Amino acid sequence: MNQEINNLVKAVLTFRDERDWKQFHSPKNLAVSISIEAAELLELFQWLKEDQSISEDKIDCLRDEIADVFIYLLLLSHTYGIDVIEATQKKILKNHQKYPIEKARGNARKYTEF
């Protein structure tokens, strides 16, 4: 695993363990928490028009919500022994196969619609 990611996992685990929160971090609870935090991230964009972006005063909130999602992803991946860097690299390769440039370029259709 990438050393920087490994250090983040250790920091998150230390934070969790110092508070005795592992008992609450079942895989189901972690997956639910990812969804909740992703919804909080989405809420920052609620009611914006397609050509709008969040305001500068909400960038810190955006940063925090991204971090919250990532922290729970790190905890869930640690629970199952998944290297997030390796998993992401493999998924990118799968996506290359699912979405070949000649079929996917310039459209938003799902690969099953090609």
Give 51-86 pLDDT, tens digit per residue: 999 999 999 999 999 999 999 999 999 999 999 999
pTM of the model: 0.90
Q: Where are the domains of the chain?
A: 3-82, 84-114
The answer to whether the beta carbons of residues 71 and 78 sit under 8 Å apart is no
Q: How far apart are CA 27 and CA 33, in angstroms?
A: 10
Selected from 1.10.3720.10, 2.30.30.280, 1.10.287.1080, 1.20.1440.230, the CATH number assigned to the domain covering 3-82 reads 1.10.287.1080
Report pLDDT for 24: 98
Report pLDDT for 96: 96
